[in-house]
Structure 1
């Protein structure tokens, strides 16, 4: 029989790390104790004990509490030697959390860049403007689609910052082009605006400041909205849209025909242009496109057809009376220098 050995003061204070059970207990304790304290502080913050938080702050705080709860469940799984719930350590969640972290760092590392897709007039083949599209060049994952990182930016509360950056960059570039290529009417730029941005009551003031700072006339700026984005926070959104219209900014309704579109809704939104969704062009739904063009004409609106990729598509749209188009037949989204080279070269039509 092994002789029992008296514990030294050090051995009494520190558990035997060679014992697997004691090590597991220690890991659980060391993880659970600070998490409990963190959870309590987060709760006090959320309750307003330390002062009020902005909407963004509250949103980020809820994310922190949710993730703390996940780690608490992990600590419990370690303590009881059971398999942790898949939701704690799923590959998808780990990748999403990593993406959120990388997105916050992207500002510091200047990983965002604007690309521009030309808007072409079918009347003379000239470029009359550009749609500004943000791209994220990740250092290891390459170019990440906006369809991936825009929802992520909305979730972590950085979409407002990103949206304002895009607006400022696009307006600054437009000013350079207008000085370099004076034409009548002047070149324009369109920028997509999210539902989160539309819900911000100070959006019109911020855009007014951006126009003043970059030196462009508000009438050269177009804002692209979706019908669903205007429905969310509808009252705030409508107020913002009215103020933007009063500044002379034109409103484009993007992806028209794919959402909740109705005649009464169009009249409420007071948009200037309907953008025919690319899916209608790619699927050759010419009757639908013809109906949209007729509707636009009856309301005094203009139309832009997206997703034009073949000369057959182009000729069909021309016959239907569409006067402005964009798509890969002309150019994919290109960087600022390539867009500069593109201006002044009419499309052969």
Structure 2
């Protein structure tokens, strides 16, 4: 019996005996030929990961994750092929750009294209810097600066968020260690790092955080991990265990963008949180009554509050009158690179003498 290969099938379509009726038929054929073997490979890889994850080295686990991510990419490509009516409309510019960006995202870590910027968090009473929030930026060789809004969802979709998240955490902790050594008077400085929902659902998260904190010689209380309110609401048993372990380590936990996720008071009481970060939309639109209500809620929960999006002197005065203890926003500084952030700390120390 003759075994028909993909090339044989495509040749048949191009032969005189079997004329091509439509380009959509080619799409269907390519999609089928791609998806069938790839799905089998993906299933085998998932089975291997499930059975061998505890015995594989970290390098082997990383290679397995890369293999799984690549099969998922190919399956998505086959789905695009199948859903397009004809080859010319196979890949609109935005689809082509997405796949191109995904490929480049894999290379960005290896080529040191990611950069951390830092935005200060200040005390409301005197605008003294009490910490920084680390914010990732991608210095793309072709497109220039790419914002997290564009590439973080793609990193989550492809599974790269774990690697990128670990890089951000390590870089931020290393930078804080440098600042604490360089400015002993500001040894109480804290560093805030954002976590995605996928990171929070990783069983190894709390262990990796502990290792990075130890390797950078930081006091765990210097590290503040920010999780969006939506991520808290979508918590899983693994996520809850991670939060509890992180809390036991001494790491501070923030609910970011608070006020947008419709949390219930009963659930808030169950979360091991230390700080509520009021979403910047409340300050931007002047919803002072809502902010006052959040401040009262925080007081009842015995947690601190940071108001984001402070851009004017009037915002500052209003939040000071409401009793909000900490602020963050363009009024004090935009996110800046490590050198500029170092100058902010140095300038503040000079004014203390």
TM range (shorter): 0.7 to 0.9
Match of 2:39 among 40, 43, 54: 43
Aligned equivalents of 1:21, 1:293: Cα separation in 2: 76
**Aligned-residue CA RMSD in angstroms?**
3.0
Q: Is the 8 A contact 2:102 2:154 kept in 1?
A: yes
Q: Offset of 1:186 from its aligned partner?
A: 1.1
User: Is 2:90 the partner of 1:66?
Assistant: no
Q: Is the 8 A contact 2:34 2:74 kept in 1?
A: no
Q: Is the 8 A contact 1:306 1:327 kept in 2?
A: yes
Hey, what does 1:180 align to over in structure 2? 182
Aligned equivalents of 2:129, 2:45: Cα separation in 1: 56
Match of 2:145 among 143, 146, 160: 143
Hey, what does 2:212 align to over in structure 1? 210
Question: Residues 21, 230 of structure 1: CA spacing in aligned structure 2 closer, same or farther, 3 A cutoff?
Answer: farther
Aligned equivalents of 1:291, 1:185: Cα separation in 2: 33
Aligned equivalents of 1:155, 1:229: Cα separation in 2: 16
Aligned equivalents of 1:50, 1:283: Cα separation in 2: 47
Question: Residues 99, 122 of structure 1: CA spacing in aligned structure 2 closer, same or farther, 3 A cutoff?
Answer: same
Q: Offset of 1:185 from its aligned partner?
A: 6.0
Describe the superposition over 1:308-339 as per-residue Cα deviations: whole angstroms up to 9, x where unpaired. Answer: 00001000000000121010001000000000
Greater than 6 Å deviation, 4+ residue runs: 19-22, 28-35
Question: Residues 290, 62 of structure 1: CA spacing in aligned structure 2 closer, same or farther, 3 A cutoff?
Answer: same
Q: Offset of 1:32 from its aligned partner?
A: 8.5
TM-score when scaled to structure 1?
Answer: 0.83
Match of 1:255 among 254, 257, 279: 257
What secondary structure is seen at the aligned counterpart in 2 of 1:123? coil
TM-score when scaled to structure 2?
Answer: 0.83
Aligned equivalents of 2:116, 2:234: Cα separation in 1: 27
Q: Is the 8 A contact 1:45 1:51 kept in 2?
A: no
Match of 2:316 among 314, 331, 335: 314
Q: Which segments of 5 or more consecutive residues in structure 1 lack a partner in the other structure?
A: 1-14, 78-82
What secondary structure is seen at the aligned counterpart in 2 of 1:328? coil
Hey, what does 1:200 align to over in structure 2? 202
Aligned equivalents of 1:20, 1:270: Cα separation in 2: 67
Question: Residues 312, 49 of structure 1: CA spacing in aligned structure 2 closer, same or farther, 3 A cutoff?
Answer: closer
Question: Residues 30, 90 of structure 1: CA spacing in aligned structure 2 closer, same or farther, 3 A cutoff?
Answer: closer
User: Is 2:168 the partner of 1:166?
Assistant: yes
Q: Is the 8 A contact 1:198 1:230 kept in 2?
A: no
Match of 2:48 among 38, 46, 52: 52
Question: Residues 282, 115 of structure 1: CA spacing in aligned structure 2 closer, same or farther, 3 A cutoff?
Answer: same
Aligned equivalents of 2:328, 2:46: Cα separation in 1: 52
Q: Is the 8 A contact 1:226 1:255 kept in 2?
A: yes
Hey, what does 2:295 align to over in structure 1? 293
Aligned equivalents of 2:146, 2:299: Cα separation in 1: 38
Aligned equivalents of 1:166, 1:49: Cα separation in 2: 28
Q: Offset of 1:181 from its aligned partner?
A: 0.9
Hey, what does 2:239 align to over in structure 1? 237
Hey, what does 1:4 align to over in structure 2? none
Q: Offset of 1:97 from its aligned partner?
A: 1.0
Q: Which segments of 5 or more consecutive residues in structure 2 lack a partner in the other structure?
A: 1-10, 51-63
Q: Offset of 1:215 from its aligned partner?
A: 1.2
Question: How many residues matched?
Answer: 322
Q: Offset of 1:73 from its aligned partner?
A: 6.9
Describe the superposition over 1:57-76 as per-residue Cα deviations: whole angstroms up to 9, x where unpaired. Answer: 545423312313444677xx
